Amino acid sequence: MTNEATPRSATRRRQPAKPITGEWCVGILGTDALGGQVVASGGLRLRAQRAASCLLEPAAGDSVACLRIAPAEVWIMAVLQREENTANVVSCPGNLRIAVDGGALELQAARVGLRADELDVATQKTRVATDTADVVGRELHLIGTTIKVVGSVLSTVMERVQHFSRHYLRTTDGIDRVAATHLECEAKQLLRLEGEHTLVNGRELVKARGAQIHFG
C-alpha cells in the first residue's frame, strides 16, 4: 500500500480577503479650472465626488468630511459646516421615493413651492383649507359625479358660456334679472310665464301670433 501525495489545491487554504481600508479627512471644498470638486485638507488638494448618502449638495466653501479609499478615489460623505447665505439644496441623481410605513409625513415651512413638468396626486380623500386660493391655467377641467359649490358671492366673467343638462332647476328668493341685447326663450312643447302681476312692455311693437289666442 502506497501513500499518494495530496494535491496542493486540496491542501491550500483560502485566505480571507482583506477589507478595504479608508482614511478620513476634513477639508474645505472648492472647484478647479474644469469645475470639478476639490477638497483642500492641510497641504493636500484632493479631487472628490459626492457620495450617494450625502443628500445635501455640497457647495464651494463648505467644510466637508471625506473618506479617502485610494489616492484618486475620495468621497464626500457629509457637509459639516456651511457659510451663511448659501442655499441648502437636497438632491440626488435618478428617481427618489420617500416612504413612511405606519406613520405620517408632514412638511412645515414659511413657503412651500413645487415646480414640475407634471404633477400627479392620487388619494382617497383630499382636504385643502386656505384663506385665499388662486388657480391660474390655460385649460382647467373639472370632472366629478357630484359637484357642490357653497359660498356667499359668485362672480364669473366669460367670453362665452355654453351649458347643457337634461334637467335644470333654479330657485331665487330675491331678484332674478337678465339683461341682453337679444333674448330668446324657446320651448318645444310648453312655455309658461306666471306671476301675480305680469307686465309686457314693447316700446315700438307688441305682437302675438298663433292659431288660437285666448285672453281671460
Q: Which CATH superfamily is domain 21-81 in?
A: Nucleic acid-binding proteins (2.40.50.140)
Of 115, 50, 54, 60, give the one whose Cα is nearest residue 87: 60
Tell me the per-residue pLDDT of 44-99, one tens digit each, with 9 for 90 and over. 999 999 999 999 999 999 999 999 998 889 999 999 999 888 999 999 888 989 99
pTM beyond cutoff 0.85: no
Instruction: Supply 203's cell numbers.
Output: 316700446
| Three-state DSSP string of 79-96 | EEECCCCCCCCECCCCCC
Tell me the per-residue pLDDT of 159-205, one tens digit each, with 9 for 90 and over. 999 999 999 999 999 999 999 999 999 999 999 999 999 999 998 99
How many residues does this entry show for the chain?
Answer: 216
What angle is formed at CA 162 by the lines to CA 159 and CA 163, rounded to 5 degrees? 145
Question: What is the pLDDT of the chain when averaged over all its residues?
Answer: 89
pLDDT category, 20, cuts 50, 70, 90?
confident
Asked whether the beta carbons of 27 and 75 are under 8 A apart, the reply is no
Q: Alpha carbon of 145 to those of 31, 40, 128, 142, 148: distances in Å?
A: 58, 63, 19, 10, 10
Asked whether the beta carbons of 51 and 76 are under 8 A apart, the reply is yes
Q: What is the pLDDT of residue 149?
A: 93
